Amino acid sequence: MYKKTVLDNGITVVTESIAYYSTVSIGMWWRAGSRYETAGLNGISHFIEHMLFKGTTGRTAYDIAREIDAIGGSLNAFTGREYTCLYARVLRKDLHVALDIIADMYRDSLFSSEDVEKERYVITQEIKMIEDNPEEYIYDMFNASYYRDHALGMPILGTLESVEGLTDDQLKGYFRGFYGPENTIITISGRVNHETCVEEIKRRFFGIPAGRADGRELIPPRATTGIDIYEKDLEHVYLCIGTDGVSQVDRRRYVLYVLNAIMGGSMSSHLFQEIREQRGLVYNIYSYVNCYHDAGTFGISTSTSQESITEVLVLIKDEIARIRDKGITDAELSFSKEHIKGNLFIALEGSETRMGRLAKNEIYFGAYIPLKETLREIDRISKKDVAAIAREIFDSARMASLTVLGNVDREKVERVWRE
């Protein structure tokens, strides 16, 4: 099912053939994201993602949209902290159409000055939209506080100041330096033939010379613990609590996923049941896991009224202490494993998810991780493993960081958190 070929110019092609799929998902991935940027160039990867849709030497922006719509397909892109992706999903018979469009966007995007200015305005509006949405903005604020003075703390979209300062030449130069064939992965999932895909890609990317990826040494982040309160006139108070997790290449990430499912990663989790269902103090509360090349975070996020903020904080702290000091039950371990495996199987029903899994395996491991191996890792997790990672990440000596957004009594919040 899985095959991999590295072309002469450095492009890596990875396919997964699934005989019963009628759709095909194609992703063009680059090892480029906000983590690799400097403060002065913050947001440039996201800006480039936008510019790829603004027209090529052979297609206008309308042509790109019209051609993919004409076959009932979808075309989109996203920028992350450690990678950027341009992707399409089409019927199997239209694979060549999607490859044509993606290759054209990669090879011959114009980056015209007029389009750069138009898209600069669009992106600044996108940044303002995020700032007006506290449920999203709280994560940028937490990352900025937790990974202070590190690239992982910079917003993916950039800031208004950094985006306004980016020039045409910087965009073009960065694209040439960081998006070359040697830094490019193409993943395809669906009912496809690997050799045919490789030949199709060779034909469309012929003539793009091999290069050398610009040197970008990853500097491990150092977390900054503490309390950061940002006052803003809001009806609700938004908070994000985070502590060190594990990296994407750490096998203990599966243990952390188990802990996450029990604490706040599902509707039946402890935090949701206690704080939302039993006490009615919040509309939503959940925990999450983020894993990067060499670092990671475990977080808890919610919002509540000004009157309830201290009670919610106490309940969260109590749950953290309970898990850390008492561990989990056999029933909770079994539930969490089945929850994770069920979510995984359901997600892998779609070709897009499988395509993304191929890419992330290649980016982080340089190889394919069979599903069976992932399931074995989950099945072998014990209560002792979960207890060990809970004690580590919830170590009272380096307790989690707290970021708060809204109108709050600063002294009261600080007192409750430090008690």
CA distances from 335 to 276, 287, 292, 332, 374 (A): 20, 17, 26, 5, 17
Give DSSP secondary structure letters for 176-236.
HHHSSGGGEEEEEEES--HHHHHHHHHHHHTT-----PPP-PPPPP----SEEEE----SS
What are the DSSP E strand ranges found in 46-199? 74-79, 84-91, 184-190
Give DSSP secondary structure letters for 356-399.
HHHHHHHHHHSS---HHHHHHHHHT--HHHHHHHHHHHT-GGGP
Strand duo 2-6 + 12-17: pairing? antiparallel
In one-letter notation, the amino acid at residue 181 is: P
Which tokens in the block code for residue 196? 């045919």
Distance CA 144, CA 166 (A): 21
CA atoms within 13 A on the CB side of 136: 11
Q: How many residues in the chain?
A: 419
Instruction: Tell me whether residue 49 is one of the annotated catalytic residues.
Output: yes
Q: What share of the chain is helix, strand, coil (3-state, %, to 5)?
A: 50, 20, 30
DSSP H helices in 77-112: 95-108
What are the DSSP E strand ranges found in 37-138? 74-79, 84-91
Distance CA 114, CA 116 (A): 5
Which tokens in the block code for residue 70? 């004409």
Are 358 and 368 in contact, with CB atoms under 8 Å apart? Answer: yes
CA distances from 7 to 163, 197, 364, 416 (A): 35, 12, 20, 58
Select from 53, 72, 74 the least CA-distant residue to 64: 53
Q: Phi first, then psi: what are they for 241, rounded to 5°?
A: -115, 135
Pick the catalytic residue: 16, 49, 67, 319?
Answer: 49
Q: At what angle do helices 168-178 and 44-51 cross, to 10 degrees?
A: 90
Q: What is the number of other CB atoms lying within 10 angstroms of the CB of residue 270?
A: 19
Catalytic residue numbers? Answer: 49
